[in-house]
Chain A
Amino acid sequence: MDFRPLNDTERRQLIGALRGNAESDRAILMDRRDTSFAGTAEEVTDEEVIFAVKSVPCHY
């Protein structure tokens, strides 16, 4: 298990991610292999995409 303090860049990214989450409901990404912070950037989670696909309404 690797514990270390965040560097300045990582710290800024995490603050940006938390701000996006608090203000705009943007997801905070976690690496599924080691649970490390994987950023937010412009990436979209699988869950968000799948939910949008599954909820497409009928069209007339």
Chain B
Amino acid sequence: MLQALVSTASQLLEDLNRSLLRSRAFASRSQQVPPSAPHYQPLERIRLSDGVGHTLFEEYASHRAEARGEEETGWLLMGLREASEAHVLATLPAGAERDASVAHVQFNSSGQALGSRIVRQTDKRLTILGVVHTHPGSLRHPSDGDYRGDSQWVRHLRGREGIFAIGTADGKGQPPSLFAEQPRPHVQCLGEMCLSWYSLREGDAKYRPLPVGLTLGPDLARPLHSVWGAIEAHADRLDRLCRQQAGVTFEVVPGEHRPWLAVNIPLAEPGDALRVALTEKEVHYFLLRGGELLAADCLDERVDRGIYLLLAELAAQS
């Protein structure tokens, strides 16, 4: 099938090349071809879902109250990139395994990679939009060091442009504040916490203030934040499993004391599946067969290895 597609594609590519040589004819034909994706313009503004706004301010406040509260922290932003605006719909936390100090933060990318896979289960249009990170002082603008990295990184983003926000705790408002304010189009403040939003496009010499607005909507990744320890602990093995096995899905399920990360691996029979429930330190395996959930006698803490041992056991029984 792929060979047939490639053959057909080659023929169509030849057609396309021929058509490019005939500009007038091309102009009339191109109107019939639906655009495959928007032609990206520089971002004019961004919209945050109110869920994302809540996450950023609430988790920034929580971070400041923690033992590592003096360190910088941050979030990776996911959402939809449109022609000249972007919608921020999910936040991936820096993670407990981040490398951070009062002067830098490097996110735990393994956890965020798995988190992005889980968030994108329901909508493959979701992409990486940018980064929020905090500064300990009152510098509400990305630093020169930020620019050196970001100016290279944005080439990997849609539209070759990224969204960057700086969190500071230097606002004039005093906590507790009843509601957030927006003293400037690119600045949001809640109490003493402020987020200042910028964009940077490939080739730009400096960041550009980016007007930000709010709209109703979820933080699609927020349920994952409650199981982020499990995501970080098993990220590499689960990410490898996703690349090896089609149809692997994830969900957050309530537990007696705390939520679990559940992994579902479909089996050949419709409805049958292997199911794994994970916390940071615990791994429990189950077999869903014929509508009945059976606990599997597997103690392997390496989740990918445990799953393949069970698959081998099931294959031997069939």
Contact A33:B246 (CB < 8 A) given known A12-B33, A20-B36, A44-B126? yes
Tell me the chain A residues, 13-60 only, with Cβ under 8 Å from chain B: 13-20, 22, 24, 26, 28, 30, 32-37, 39-44, 46, 48-60
Contact A58:B36 (CB < 8 A) given known A30-B2, A49-B128? no
Whether A26 lies near B156 (C-beta < 8 A) is: no
Q: Which B residues are CB-close (under 8 A) to A22? A: 13, 16
Q: Which B residues are CB-close (under 8 A) to A44? A: 120, 124-127, 158
Contact A35:B5 (CB < 8 A) given known A19-B33, A43-B125? yes
What residue in chain A is nearest B104 (Cβ atoms)?
A60
Q: Which B residues are CB-close (under 8 A) to A46? A: 117, 120
Q: Which B residues are CB-close (under 8 A) to A40? A: 36-37
What residue in chain B is nearest A34 (Cβ atoms)?
B1
Stretch at the interface among B62-70, B141-149, B284-292: B141-149
Tally of contact residues, B, Cβ under 8 A: 55
Whether B8 lies near A59 (C-beta < 8 A) is: no
Q: How many A-B residue pairs have CB under 8 A?
A: 131
Whether A58 lies near B5 (C-beta < 8 A) is: no
Q: Which of B2, B106, B127, B148 contacts A49 (CB 8 A)?
A: B127
Q: Which of A16, A35, A49 contacts B34 (CB 8 A)?
A: A16
How far, in whole Å, are A46 and B103 apart by their CA atoms in the complex?
Answer: 32
Contact A54:B15 (CB < 8 A) given known A19-B36, A40-B37? no
Q: Which of B1, B5, B113, B153 contacts A57 (CB 8 A)?
A: B153
How far, in whole Å, are A1 and B146 apart by their CA atoms in the complex?
Answer: 52
Q: Which interface class (under 10, 10 to 19, 20 to 34, 35 or more) fits A? A: 35 or more
Contact A35:B35 (CB < 8 A) given known A59-B105, A59-B133, A60-B104? no
How far, in whole Å, are A15 and B9 apart by their CA atoms in the complex?
Answer: 8
Q: Which of A12, A41, A51, A53 contacts B76 (CB 8 A)?
A: A53
Q: Which A residues are CB-close (under 8 A) to B146? A: 59-60
Q: Which A residues are CB-close (under 8 A) to B106? A: 58-59
Whether A3 lies near B4 (C-beta < 8 A) is: yes
How far, in whole Å, are A5 and B34 apart by their CA atoms in the complex?
Answer: 20
Q: Which of B8, B33, B113, B149 contacts A53 (CB 8 A)?
A: B113
Whether A57 lies near B150 (C-beta < 8 A) is: yes
Q: Is B38 part of the contact surface with A, judged by Cβ < 8 Å?
A: yes
Q: How far is the CB of B70 from chain A (nearest CB, A)?
A: 15
- Chain B 111-136, CB within 8 Å of chain A: the 1/0 string? 01100110010001111100101000
- Chain B 139-178, CB within 8 Å of chain A: the 1/0 string? 0001101101110110011100000000000000000000
Whether A14 lies near B8 (C-beta < 8 A) is: yes
Q: Which A residues are CB-close (under 8 A) to B239? A: 50
Whether A52 lies near B156 (C-beta < 8 A) is: yes
| A contacts, CB < 8 Å to B | 1-3, 6, 11-20, 22, 24, 26, 28, 30, 32-37, 39-44, 46, 48-60
11 contacts between A and B (CB under 8 A): A12-B33, A15-B12, A16-B34, A34-B1, A35-B2, A40-B37, A49-B126, A52-B156, A55-B156, A59-B72, A60-B103
| B contacts, CB < 8 Å to A | 1-2, 4-5, 8-9, 12-13, 15-16, 32-38, 72, 74, 76, 80, 92, 99, 103-107, 109, 112-113, 116-117, 120, 124-128, 131, 133, 142-143, 145-146, 148-150, 152-153, 156-158, 239, 246
